[in-house]
Amino acid sequence: MNSATPVPGEPLVDLVPWYERWERQQATYIPLREERFTVMLDTVEHIAGDAPVVLDLLSGPGAISARVLKRFPRARVYALDLDPVLMAIGKAAHGDAGGRLTWLEANVKDPDWVRVLPPVQFDAVLSTTAIHWLEAGDIVELYRALAVHIRPGGVFMNGDQMRFPARDQVLRGLTEAMRSRHEQASQQAGGETWEHWWAELRKLEPIGPLFEERDRRFRWRNIERERAIGSTRDDANPRQLVSSTYPIHHAALLDAGFSEVHQIWQFYDNRILAAVR
C-alpha cells in the first residue's frame, strides 16, 4: 500500500480556528480528555525528564505534540500521520515550534513506514484514540516496529477506548451507556459533533485538493465503519472494532518485547496502556 504522495502547498485559508474547533469538538466525545493527557505527560517526565524526544504517533492535528511542547520547553517532537487535512491544520496551528516540532508523513500499514523516522531512539512514543483504526495484525506489526525505535527504559503509551472482552457483556453495556450519556449532555450544551465538524471543513474550497488526497489515501477504510467509529484520530467512539479490545493491545505489546505492560489510568473503558521498553 502506498504511504503518501506529494500534496498541494499550504492552502490559502486560515486553519488555526479549525484546530481550536477540533479541540472543542473532541471534548464532546471524550470525558476527562485533558486528565488523560496530563497522566501521559506526567509519565513521560518521570521516565525521561524535562527534555524528552517524543514521537506523536498518528498525530492528527497535533493535540499531543502541542501539549508536550508546552509542558517541556526543551522537548523535541516528531508528529507522524497520513491525513493531509489534519496535518495541514496542525502545521497551521503549531508550525515547527522553533525547530522543535517535525512533521512526518507515513502509512503505518506499510511495512516500510519506519524509513521516515529520524535516526534517534525515542524516549516516549505517545498515541491517543487512533490505533483502533488498525486491524489486530497491523497492531502487532506496529508494536514490533516501535519497540526497535524506543530506547531501553523508554515508554510507549496508548490512550484510547479499549473495550472489555466480548464475554463481558454487562461491562460493555455499562460503558456504552455512560458514553452515550456524556455525548448527549455535551451536544445539548452546544458541543459540535464529529460529523458536523468534517462537513463544515469540506466546504472550504481552498483545501479541496487536500480532501481529494485524503480520500485517496484512506480508500481502504470502510465508510460505514468510519461513521460507526465517529472520528479519524483523537475521537472516542471505536464501537465496532475487534482490534479496540484491551487484551489485544496488551498481548501485542508483550509480544513485541516490552518488559512491563500495564494499564495506568482508566475511566470506564477509556484507558492509558503503558509499556516500558
Q: Which CATH architecture has domain 1-277?
A: 3-Layer(aba) Sandwich (3.40)
d(CA 2, CA 90): 23
d(CA 254, CA 155): 13
Digit-coded pLDDT (tens) for 104-152: 999 999 999 999 999 999 999 999 999 988 989 999 999 999 999 999 9
d(CA 234, CA 86): 11
Cβ atoms < 10 Å from Cβ of 186: 19
d(CA 62, CA 81): 9
The torsion angles phi and psi of 257, rounded to 5 degrees, stand at 100, 10
pTM of the model as a whole: 0.88
Digit-coded pLDDT (tens) for 257-266: 999 999 999 9
Cβ-based neighbours of 105, under 8 Å, separated by 6 or more: 3, 4, 80, 81, 82, 84, 87, 116
